[in-house]
Amino acid sequence: MFVSPGEVCFSVFGIDIYYYGIIMGIAVFVGVLFSDFVRKKYYSYISENNFYNSVLVIIIFGFLGARLYYCLFNFSYYSNHFFEILDFRQGGLSIHGGLIFGFLSGAVFAIVKKIPLLKLADLFSYGLVLAQAIGRWGNFFNSEAFGKPTDIFCKLYIPVSDRPLDYMNYEFFHPTFLYESILCIIIFILLFFVVRKMVKGYDGFVFCSYLIMYSIVRIIVENIRIDSIFFILGLPLPIFVSLCILILSVVCVVFLCMKYFKM
């Protein structure tokens, strides 16, 4: 059984330091460190200076995009609390927003610095999914992003204050943060030890493979979660966006096959 110790890890001069922030910091550090390892071993033609400058750009715009995306689809609240939009300590980040803004900012950087975009996208795929696997544990400490009520062996206890109104009489829920974390680790293993070797020399396949696999994972996990508040065409927003990314990624794979294999 999983029970969160609470959101606050410790305080410094009256300022609370949250587990979520610590976990996110560790996730970014490990992700960047591993991506740099991959760069040195397989993408050494991307200079260290260009790599870390791109990291800075992608992280800044990725986090900003993740926050703005979250606030946009929680418009009813943030339209009345406008100055809380940039209050990152309050919580509220969306991986889809981070992916979209991170990719766009990385694309602009690649164009300006004349770095092959597909190579840069492939390079960051490994560290990104590894960071996601670690970052999901921030949801555990915040008692958020959980699934339907359950009594399985790895059930997650949710305090009354964090339970949805329709589930006040339930104590234990699916630890969807754990499911996604484990599945992201599996994606990382497949990308690095299988896909990388299969598509060596063919840029773009690693990134598209990451998007396809993560979209499938997100669709599966979202079917268990109970915190969706925005729907498009009857589908929870994360599932709808994941389906769009999945379809677009498959189309990109087809085009890459046509490009490389003259299909």
Rounded-to-integer distance, Cα 210 and Cα 98, Å: 15
Q: What pLDDT is recorded for position 263?
A: 64
Could you read off the pLDDT of 155-201 as tens digits, one per residue? 999 999 999 999 999 999 999 999 999 999 999 999 999 999 999 99
For residues 54 and 110, the answer to whether their CB atoms sit within 8 Å is yes
Q: What pLDDT is recorded for position 93?
A: 87
Sequence-ordered list of residues with C-beta below 8 angstroms from that of 225, at least 6 positions apart, any chain: 145, 146, 147, 148, 176, 236
> Is the C-alpha dihedral spanning 246, 252, 254, 257 positive or negative?
negative
Residues of the chain under the 50 pLDDT cut: none
For residue 14, how many other CB atoms are within 10 A of its CB? 5
**Pairing label, strands 235-236, 156-157:** unpaired
Residue 242 burial class via C-beta count within 10 angstroms: exposed 0-12, middle 13-18, buried 19 and up = buried
Q: What pLDDT is recorded for position 78?
A: 83
Q: What pLDDT is recorded for position 235?
A: 93
Rounded-to-integer distance, Cα 235 and Cα 241, Å: 9
Rounded-to-integer distance, Cα 175 and Cα 177, Å: 5
Backbone angles phi, psi at 156, to 5 degrees: -115, 125
User: 261: which 2 tokens?
Assistant: 């294999």
pTM (two decimals): 0.94
